[in-house]
Structure 1
Amino acid sequence: MRGASWPDVQAVLFDLDGTLIDSAPELGAAADRMRVARGMSSLPLSAYRPMAGAGARGMLGVAFGLRPEDAQFAELREEFFKTYEALMFDGSVAFSGVDALIARLVDRRMPWGVVTNKSSRFTEPLTASMPLFETAAAIVSGDTTPHAKPHPAPLLEAARRIGVDPARCVYVGDDQRDIVAGKAAGMRTVAVAYGYLGADADVTQWQADAVISLPLDLLQWLPLA
């Protein structure tokens, strides 16, 4: 069933991890490797997955109960980055339906791009290794602009690179900060009810303009031509 489509939309921007690709196995494996190296018991992927969208902060929180303000956090974060860097090509894949969604956007000649808080240190080699991103008109990382999401700066930079008015862009993400950033940038926002949502997440409370359960559901909100 079609929703009330947005006929003025000219571009679609996506979050990366948890929205387009499933990198939870590699993120979890990196944190768990650090945990086991310290003589602690291994945790299952199911323990890490709900927090995968929070990157190092989430993984170190699960593995060690650490918070960013803790004294050890900065040191362990860099160790996590190095460990993940060695694992990130081991199996990150697009969520089911994402390849078909991107193909449909390309068929409609609708430009699309990525705005992620992931550092370019990881974003650039990872997206370069996946054919999915060959048609992306812009890829903006967490360190591309002076601010990361939920600040709107990276989203506005992506719109600038694509050459589309932010008001005619849609931003799609799996975290509340994605919706906050999209609204601050003046874009329409779509929350995905898949990905890395934790048990306590309620996407209906994020005040997104739309919620989708499958990647291809996004098409109902976009112009047909």
Structure 2
Amino acid sequence: MSQHIEAVLFDLDGTLVDTAPDFIRILNALRQTQGKPALENAVIRAAVSAGARAMIQVGFPEHAVDSPEFIQLRQQFLDNYGLGLDQESRLFDGLETLLSQLEQRGIPWGIVTNKPRVYSEALLKGLHLDQRCAVLVCPDDVSRTKPDPEPLYLACKKLGVTTENSVYVGDHIRDIQAGNNANMTTIAVGFGYIVAGEHIEDWQADHCVQTVAELIHFFNS
């Protein structure tokens, strides 16, 4: 792209890291303890970007979200996730190439996520990305989370860059809304956890890509 880029920020789950395999494994294991059969991977995968609450709703739809049973299952799910959140999670294929290219060009990259810091830090450490990630902003760090632009403003402030010359990449409409609200260049990616019936082209991102190869091409064009 012709624009001068000062920094590139990524959403975490479904954009930078494919965390679905661990969520699928843990949710189906929890279902098994309740005498339930495993759900299809795609059913759980579509709920990953919406967080633990959404995944428990998918796994145990018979429980109301404010019921003691639901709350207990959600906590058990989170406890189990914390013990094995990096067993199968990996960078999406090809993204190591992009991160290396950004680093070689002296462009810092970071993460702005709605995933709590305790899990985000553990995941990055487990994937040996913690020393490479220039900034990590989690819900713990702000008063308003995405789609509010506050987390992106904070990330850019920590990096000493302007939002106008920074890029935010995400796989959920709230990512694009947050980036647009912060006056950043936004890229919607279609290789993440897109809910059936949703189209990234409807999110009003500045750019849409369906593959990691297209994302790499964007930064090299």
Q: Fold conserved (TM > 0.5)?
A: yes
**Which of 167, 184, 194 is 1:197 aligned to?**
194
Query: Which residue of the partner structure matches residue 152 of structure 1?
Result: 149
**Which of 61, 71, 79 is 1:65 aligned to?**
61
Matched, 1:44 2:50: no
Name the aligned partner's letter for residue 84 of structure 1: Y
Change (3 A) 1:153 1:66: farther
Name the aligned partner's letter for residue 45 of structure 2: R
Between the aligned partners of 2:32 and 2:158, the Cα distance in structure 1 is 43
**Which of 182, 186, 192 is 1:185 aligned to?**
182
Matched, 1:88 2:85: yes
How far did residue 66 of structure 1 move? 6.7
Query: Which residue of the partner structure matches residue 15 of structure 2?
Result: 19
How far did residue 199 of structure 1 move? 1.7
**Which of 113, 117, 122 is 1:120 aligned to?**
117
Between the aligned partners of 1:139 and 1:169, the Cα distance in structure 2 is 15
In structure 2, the gaps of 5 or more residues are none
Change (3 A) 1:29 1:116: same
CA contact (8 A) 1:7 1:222 kept: no
How many matched pairs?
220
Change (3 A) 1:66 1:151: farther
Change (3 A) 1:65 1:82: same
- Secondary structure of 2:47's counterpart equals helix
How far did residue 122 of structure 1 move? 0.3
In structure 1, the gaps of 5 or more residues are none
- Secondary structure of 1:122's counterpart equals helix
CA contact (8 A) 1:101 1:216 kept: no
Name the aligned partner's letter for residue 214 of structure 2: D
Q: Which moved more, 1:159-168 or 1:44-53?
A: 44-53
- Secondary structure of 1:65's counterpart equals coil
Query: Which residue of the partner structure matches residue 75 of structure 1?
Result: 72
Name the aligned partner's letter for residue 49 of structure 2: G
Q: Which moved more, 1:196-205 or 1:67-76?
A: 67-76
Task: Tell me the TM-score normalised to structure 2 length.
Answer: 0.92
- Secondary structure of 1:85's counterpart equals helix
Identity, % of aligned positions: 36
- Secondary structure of 2:118's counterpart equals helix
CA contact (8 A) 1:27 1:55 kept: no
Change (3 A) 1:87 1:217: same
